[in-house]
Each structure stands twice: as structure tokens, then as C-alpha cells.
Amino acid sequence: MGYIDLENLTKDYGQNRGVFDISLSIEQGETFGLVGINGAGKTTTIRQLMGFIKPDSGRASINGMDCQKSSAQIKRFVSYVPGEINFPADKTGETFLKRQLEKAGRGSWERCKEICERLQLDYTAGLKTMSKGMKQKTALAAAFSLDSDVLILDEPSTGLDPLMRDVFIDLIKEEKEMGHTIFLFSHIFEEIEQTCDRVAMIKDGRIIDQLVMEDLLHNKNKTYKLEFKTRESLQQFQALDYELADVNEDDLQVKVHINDKDINRLMDDLQHYDILFFKEIKTNFEDYFTNVFKEEVTNV
């Protein structure tokens, strides 16, 4: 049993809309991502985790507590950033943020001010006059300043510019260092790749794949791209015993799939050929995600 558990969670809105038979287990201290295209079921999953809607069947629990029956207790140690932010009638960012700290009874105004500074948020501004980005930053400052054991974040970096996204990623990393558990719902590949320990992919309300990020990013099976100076070199290289792909006879380019343990052999062999360039094609999460979704479409 994990710290956050979804067990056969199902919410059926009819016509194949909703989420179906979702089972995920997230360990304490883990950062777990749920990624999917629009309408895949991310928000429906979060709303059941937060106890806002009741599952038709199955169950969601955090630290052994049922998310429906014990939602009030769960909110005592969970911070939540919703996908659509609707602030209460507080006058300024500051009054809102201080009230959140007071209500939660944990976290500190000092930490909150520091986060606002890093996010370049003027918290003295009126909530009603804030831009979309400022509202998002206010919600993030509230969530990250509460010293919560669990953070549930629905598209948390929406409306942030690339520099602020970097600050957001740093904030997640700091939460991880504090041992907090993070469930991140996002479609921003970069932030998923940089923060998540594991990721599940959701499509049409069903989990279609899961991966350990470390296995993807530090895979010992690598791909290198080579360009030869002459056709003869390319042809001679093709005759060797390597797993090749995308051989391009016009550009004299080829990709080699190889395990780290064989890299010295490849280097030795390449010394005998005229080569224009040699570079590693890095595997990233975006490519992985695209392939998984392509395969799903092909298999339908």
C-alpha cells in the first residue's frame, strides 16, 4: 500500500467520458506525474482525490484515509492548487496569503514572502486587479508556504513565463528535499521530466503507461547519429555488426543503437572512417510520450 492510493477508481459520465478503473500507488516522498492530452481525465481524478466528487466505484486514499469520508482531515496536511483559480473575496494578495496560513495553522509568512519575491509577485496588489500569471503565482505561494506533507497540483505552471517556470521547478525540488509527496498533473513535458520520479499517462480516462523517469533519462541503451564523409565509408560501416536505423544514403547519415558496454568497440571501429559528425540523440520524455500515444492510436 502506498501513501497515496487510487484503487480501481471509476467515475463514469457516460459516452466513454470520465475515468475508468484507475489504480496508482504513490510512495511517501515521491513526486508522481499524471500526464495526458486535454479531456483525458486528470481533473476528474484530482476532484476525487480532493473529495469534491464521489467515485462511482473504487477508492482514493491518502495516508490510509479515504478521500471521500475523511476529506476534512486530509486537507489538514494537503496543499492543493486547482486548475482554475477562483479566489475568495479577500482584498489583496497579502490578506489572502496570511489568511491561508492562519487557516492551515502551519507554514510561515517569512517563507511565503521569500517565495513571492522569487516569483516576483507583488502581493500587495488587489486580487481583483491581478493578471492571470499573478493569480497563479499567488496560488503557488499559498501552496508552497504551508509546509504541507502532500501537494496536489493541477497544471500549476499555467500562465508562468519560462523564467518563472524555473523558479517553480526549484520550489518543487525543495519540497522533495523536505520529504513531501507531490502529485503533479501537467502537460508540460519539461517540468515533468525535471521533477517527477515516476509518471503515468492517461488517455480517455484510462492509464495506458507508467514509467520510472530515471530509467528513461539514464537508459544504458543509447542512440548516436553519424554522418560520413563518403558513401564508401557509410557502406563499409553498414557491413559491420551494429543495430542501425534511419540510414540516409543521400545525406550519408545513420543512427546507431548501442548499449553503453559496447561504446568502446564503436569508437575503435569509427577510427577507420572519415566522419563529419557524431552526436548522441538524447531520449526525452516528450518523445517517449509522443511514441506511447502514437502506438495507442495505431493499436486502436
Ligand X SMILES: Nc1ncnc2c1ncn2[C@@H]1O[C@H](COP(=O)(O)OP(=O)(O)OP(=O)(O)O)[C@@H](O)[C@H]1O
Using CB under 6 A as the binding rule, whether residue 118 contacts ligand X is answered as no
At its nearest, how many Å lie between ligand X and the CB of residue 45? 7
Task: Choose among 181, 248, 143: nearest CA to 30.
Answer: 181
Using CB under 6 A as the binding rule, whether residue 43 contacts ligand X is answered as yes
Q: Which residues contact 90 (CB under 8 A, 6 or more apart)?
A: 96, 99, 127
Using CB under 6 A as the binding rule, whether residue 13 contacts ligand X is answered as yes
At its nearest, how many Å lie between ligand X and the CB of residue 156? 13
Using CB under 6 A as the binding rule, whether residue 126 contacts ligand X is answered as no
Using CB under 6 A as the binding rule, whether residue 206 contacts ligand X is answered as no
How big is the site for ligand X, counted in residues (CB under 6 A)? 12
Using CB under 6 A as the binding rule, whether residue 84 contacts ligand X is answered as no
Using CB under 6 A as the binding rule, whether residue 137 contacts ligand X is answered as no
C-alpha cell at 179: 520529504
Task: List Cα–Cα distances, 103 to 96, 139, 146, 203, in angstroms.
Answer: 10, 15, 10, 37
**Residue 9, burial from CB neighbour count under 10 angstroms (0-12, 13-18, 19+):** buried
Q: What are the DSSP E strand ranges found in the chain?
A: 4-14, 17-26, 31-35, 57-62, 65-66, 78-81, 150-154, 181-185, 198-203, 206-212, 221-228, 243-248, 253-259, 275-280
Q: What are the DSSP E strand ranges found in 193-236?
A: 198-203, 206-212, 221-228
Task: Choose among 285, 268, 266: nearest CA to 225.
Answer: 266
Select from 32-40, 63-71, 144-152, 189-197 the region that touches ligand X (CB under 6 A).
Answer: 32-40
136 or 233: CB nearest ligand X: 136
Using CB under 6 A as the binding rule, whether residue 55 contacts ligand X is answered as no
Using CB under 6 A as the binding rule, whether residue 41 contacts ligand X is answered as yes
At its nearest, how many Å lie between ligand X and the CB of residue 13? 3
Select from 39-47, 120-128, 134-142, 280-288 the region that touches ligand X (CB under 6 A).
Answer: 39-47
Select from 36-44, 56-64, 214-222, 261-269 the region that touches ligand X (CB under 6 A).
Answer: 36-44
8 or 16: CB nearest ligand X: 16
At its nearest, how many Å lie between ligand X and the CB of residue 40? 4
How far is it, in rounded angstroms, from Cα 150 to Cα 157? 18
Q: Please identify which residue in 30, 35, 42, 136 interacts with ligand X, judged by CB under 6 A.
A: 42
Q: Please identify which residue in 3, 22, 26, 36 interacts with ligand X, judged by CB under 6 A.
A: 36
At its nearest, how many Å lie between ligand X and the CB of residue 123? 28
Give the torsion sign (CA, 161, 163, 166, 170): negative
Residue whose C-alpha cell is 477508492? 59
At its nearest, how many Å lie between ligand X and the CB of residue 187? 7
How far is it, in rounded angstroms, from Cα 275 to Cα 294? 34
Residue whose C-alpha cell is 501513501? 3
Q: Please identify which residue in 40, 115, 121, 127 interacts with ligand X, judged by CB under 6 A.
A: 40
Select from 12-20, 121-129, 167-175, 231-239 the region that touches ligand X (CB under 6 A).
Answer: 12-20
Helices and strands in the chain, H and E counts = 11, 14
**Interaction site with ligand X (CB under 6 A):** 13, 17-18, 36, 38-44, 83
